[in-house]
Every structure is written in structure tokens, then in C-alpha cells.
Structure 1
Amino acid sequence: MHTLICGSIAYDTIMVFQDYFKHHILPDKLHVLNVAFLVPDMRREFGGCAANIAYNLNMLGGNPLMMATVGNDFQPYAHRLEKLNLATTYIQQIDDTFTAQAFITTDLDDNQITAFHPGAMNFSHYNSIKDTVNINLGIIAPDGREGMITHAREFQECGIPFIFDPGQGLPMFSGDDLIDFIEKADYIAVNDYEGQLLQERTQYSLNELADKVEALIVTKGAHGSTIYAEGQQIEISSVKPAAIIDPTGCGDAYRAGLLYGITHSMDWQTTGQLASLLGAIKIAHRGGQNHTFSRNEIDQLYFEAFGNRIF
């Protein structure tokens, strides 16, 4: 059986401006803004929530399948996925589009100016859950709006449990939209900011949201995470990372741990701790897919962090 990961596949172009934006953006001239930044440092990363989650879950020994839409420029990414032994069965190429991509310029204060082009992601509803086989768990990660709505409905119709992970796509939905997602989902995963926004838009408290699903997971960065499940609030401590380099993709790594724990019937404490460990490993590396680990390494790191073995 497989875990189906619905979400984006994207290229991230990251540029570093060796100065401070505040030295070049004049507050009294914002209405006629016209600036250019010399960026001698640039790198291109493979990203997107679906691919980041699948990357981590695959290293854990899970069985991920991605469902995504990509553009005509997908070939370099396809070659990478092939080398990683990640199937492209449910990745559909859309003609005359680009794969989703983010262009991020960062200054020396770690301020960021980002432009995001959704491209083929806007056609995610062209994929159907009903075309899949041997799926026992799914996740809806940030994707095209219509695709997220369609896939939630199809997961429910197919009787496949899934995690609703709205992420940065949450502002696209009204309170009624979000309530509809929640009523269909089996699990919800958000960070603390998204959790606050979810409460404001639905007019439900975290405890009320938790009552509607098997588990509500709220991540809080360096402050760990809280899992609302079985009438309890389970506090998960963060794991001290080897270094703090780049938070990009940490949430996706955490979600891979959730998916693995759920499919292997782990208790919520263990599942959350595994997820927390994956996030700590990721943050010590740039980009969403440049860290590596083996199951043996995870087992040892888990033992060092929590005092017992996981595999």
C-alpha cells in the first residue's frame, strides 16, 4: 500500500543580496518604487510540498506517491526523482506552462522578497484520486485551489483517510470552505500561525477543531508541537538541531514523520517525536531536499533524543 501526497512540485531560485533592503527602499518613495538588487550568489533548489514530503518519507522507508501537475520544464526534476527512486505515476505534465516556481531574494538581515509563479499547479484538479490504486492514506498539501477542493472530496468518496495541511494556501479559502475540508478530513496539520487563522475563519477553537478529527497537529517551530488527539493535548518537544541553517521544508519533513507514524500505527507521542526529529535534521541543511539519513541513523538519533528505539 502507498501514501498519496497531493501538493506542489516546484523550483526555488534563491538569491542573496549582500546588503540590506532598508538601505535601498525609501519609505517615502514606495508609490514610485523602482529598485534593482545585484545578487552575486544564486542557487536553484528542488522544492514543492509534495516532493519535499515524499523525499523524507522515502528515506524513512515509506511508500510515497506524489500527485501533482508540472510544466514543460520538468525534465531536470524528473531526472532527479528517477535517481531517488521516486515514482512519477501520478505527476501530470501540462503543456505550455512552467512548473511552479518561487524566486526569493534574501538580504543580510534574512528579510525576503518573494515572487511565486504557480504555473502548472493551477491545473492540479486535472488529477483524480479515483485514478489511483493501493492507497491507504493521503495528504492534501498546498496546491491549486480547485485541486485541493476536488481531492478532498475524492478522498472522502474513495474512503481514504487523509491529512488536511493547508499551509500557505490557507488564505485562499473562506471559513465555509475550511469547515468543509475539516468535515471531510481525518487529521489536520498546521503551524501555530495557520492554527490561529484557522480559528478566526471557522470560529472554532483548537479544541473544537480537534473534536472533529482523529488528531489536530499544531507545530510551533523551536517550541515543539502539540497534538490534540483522543481527548488529550500531547506536548512534543523540539529536538536540538546540529545547526540552524534554513527552515525551508522543515514543516514538510515533519509531515513525513506524521504520515509514517500513522501508517505504522505508532502512538501519537512516538509519531510526534519522529516528526520533530525529521524537522531538526532538515533545518541543518539548505533547501528542502539536501539532507540525507538512513533508518539506522534515525533510530540512533531518536534514541539519543528520547531514550528509546523507534525501529
Structure 2
Amino acid sequence: MSDKVLICGSVAFDTIAVFEGHFKDHILADNIQSLSVSFFVPTMRKEYGGCAGNIAYNLRLLGGNPVPVGTVGADAADYIVYMQQLGIDTSMIRVLADMFTPQCFITTDLDNNQIASFHPGAMMRSADNDLSGRAAAWGIVAPDAKDGMFAHARRMHAQGIPFIFDLGQAMPLFSGDDINEMLKLARILTANDYEASVVEQRTGRSMREIAQSMQAVVVTRGAEGATLYADGNEIHIEPVKAQYVVDPTGCGDAHRAGLLYGLTQNWSLVDACRLANVMGGFKIGSRGPQNHRPTRAEIGAALNQRYGVNLLG
């Protein structure tokens, strides 16, 4: 049986600039109707990101076999080489030469307020990236263009590949009917506590009720850990206390990777969620979504110390 995991979602760049001042001193309520402002940003960094890229990175840290499924522009050559150097299978990353790679431009001020712009670029044609015929133990449908998310979900469902539905930042695109349709295709739903409340509101069903027709629902709750709904039970997964709290960007993606690894290893759902918490704990201690670099031995030691679970066999 294949141990590959199809990671469907965005592969993107994040360009993050720091304004060494306060937006509130320059964006004045009296002048908001004719806004024209410029910020001097001497500090800037460019990060590899996107949900598929981040999940694949974290799964590879665990020794997993991720296959990111995403569409990028010709400007992503360095990102693809970077993935290949990590040992990630890039055969399902489709390059569209006439488009840019999806990218988010973020300016942050000294109060950690953000002004962001997102260019979807090649992501708008993600549905054309056909994964049919690819064998995999598990998959995940993470935030992407809406039609791409549905296309990947339907193709995996048709092939009998179980997958996680991770609504995430795509939440504004999905109506209650859309969510219900996706839940019929997926095996597991993952969401943070805010997203879970929106899903409940739009579908008219609680997380416990949704879990009755799925293998599981996993709701992350930040520093409070996570909640697993499965087999009619609601189980609290105790948190991992992070050594450093630096940047939450990408923590959800790290969590999904831990969950996926546990699923491919046929662990119990509880232990898979515990590993997911450990991965989120490592990620929050580093700035950017792919700059944490724990070894597999370090991850295993943290998992064993906190939960008594053995990663290394």
C-alpha cells in the first residue's frame, strides 16, 4: 500500500514587510474617504508558504511522504527546487508559465496590525491539476480556489482515497450547502474553534452531530489543545506547552501534518492528535511557516515526554 499523502492546496509566497511606526498615526478617520498612504518598510522577508507547501514541509520533517498538489507560476522555480532538496515529490505541482505564483503581501506595524493583499495567480486554475490515477494512503483538501477544492475532493472520493477537509481561509467562499457537500466526500473535518463555530452556524449542525457521519472531527483550540469528536465521544487532547511563542502563522498546517502522519501509520486518532499538537508547538516557536527545523528524534522525544507515545517505533 502506498504511504503517499496527496496535499491539495495553495503553494504560495508570503512577502512580509515591517513598518516601523503605527498605522493609526497615518490612517486617519477624517480622511478615510480619500485614502492615499505610503509606508517606508526597511525590513522585509520573503517566505515559502501556502497551505499545501506548509503541510508538505511539516510532514516531511516527520519522515512522511507528501505529494503537494498545487498550481504555480514560472516564478516558483526556486520553491520547487527547495522542495526537491527536502525530498518532497513535486510531480503534482503544475507550472503555468503565463501566470504568477499565488502570493500574499503583508505589511505589519509595531502594534502587529496587518494590511494584506493576496494575489491568487495560478491558484485560479487549480481544478485543472488532475490527480486522478495517483495512489495514496491519505489526502487533504486544504484552502485553495473553491472549484479546485471540490475537484480534488471529488477525484479522491471517486478513487477511494480517504481525505481530510480543512476549510481554513477558504471559509468565506463556502455556503452551508457547499460545506455539507464537502463533508459527504471527506473522512475527517479539521477546523480551529472559530471556523468550527462558523461551520456549525452555516450547516445548522454541531461538531458532535457532524462527527456522527464521519470518521472524526478535530477542532484546534490554540494554547488549550484540541478536541477530538469520534465514535460518539468528545475527547480533550491536552496541549503541549510551547517553549517559545513567536509566530502562529502556519501552526494549523503543522497540526494537520501531524494528524496525517498518525493516520498513515494507523495510529489511534487520539495519538495522531497528540502528535499534531506537538508539531504545532514546534512551529509556534519560529517566525514564518517553514523555518522551524526540529529533527525527527527531537519530535519523537517531545511526543514521548508529553504523552508517552513513541514516534520512532
Same-fold status (TM-score > 0.5): yes
SS of the counterpart of 2:227?
strand
Moved more, 212-221 or 262-271: 262-271
- Conserved? CA contact 2:11–2:71, under 8 Å: yes
Q: Which amino acid aligns with 1:204?
A: R
**2:199 alignment counterpart:** 198
Is 2:121 the partner of 1:119? yes
**Cα distance in structure 2, aligned partners of 1:211 and 1:28:** 52
Structure 1 position 308, deviation (Å): 4.5
Q: Which residue of 1 aligns with 2:235?
A: 234
Which deviates the most, 238-247 or 47-56?
A: 238-247
TM-aligned CA deviation for residue 189 of structure 1 = 0.4
How far is the alpha carbon of 1:39 from its aligned partner?
Answer: 0.7
CA–CA distance in 2 between the matches of 1:221 and 1:20?
27
**Equivalent position of 1:135 in the other structure:** 136
1:68-94 Cα distance to aligned partner (Å, 9 max, x none): 000110111112112111111011011
Match of 2:55 among 50, 53, 56: 53
Give the superposed CA RMSD.
1.1
Aligned ranges 1:129-168 → 2 under 5 Å: 129-132=131-134, 134-168=135-169
Structure 1 residue 94 and structure 2 residue 108: aligned? no
Greater Cα shift, 11-20 or 79-88:
79-88
Match for 2:150: what amino acid?
A: I
2:78 paired residue number: 76
Distance 1:61 1:85 in 2: 10
Residue 276 of structure 1, CA deviation? 0.4
Letter of the 2:167 counterpart:
P
The residue aligned with 1:305 is 306
Q: Does 1:20 align with 2:22?
A: yes
Q: Give the aligned residue type for 1:129.
A: L
Q: Structure 1 residue aligned with 2:38, among 14, 36, 39?
A: 36
**Partner residue of 2:210?**
209
- What's the CA shift string for 1:97-153, capped at 9, x where partnerless? 100000011111111111000100111001112142x21211000011111011111
- The residue identity in structure 2 corresponding to 1:147 is G
CA distance in 1, matches of 2:147, 2:183: 16
3-state DSSP of counterpart to 2:263: helix
Structure 1: gaps of 5 or more residues:
none
* Greater mean deviation of Cα atoms: 26-35 or 300-309: 300-309
1-side partners of 2:310 and 2:132: how far apart? 38
Q: Secondary structure at the match of 1:135?
A: coil
Q: Which secondary structure does the structure 1 equivalent of 2:239 belong to?
A: coil
Note the C-alpha offset of 1:303: 2.2
2:64 maps to amino acid: G
Encode CA deviations 1:15-51: one digit per residue, 9 max, x unaligned.
Answer: 1111111111111221111111111110000001001
TM-score by length of 1: 0.97
Identity among equivalent pairs (%):
48
Alignment of 1:279-298 (within 5 A): 279-298=280-299
Provide the rounded CA distance (Å) in 1 between the counterparts of 2:239 and 2:245: 13
Q: Distance in 1 between matches of 2:173 and 2:37?
A: 29
Structure-2 separation of matches of 1:182 and 1:135: 20
Select 2:7's aligned residue among 5, 8, 12. 5
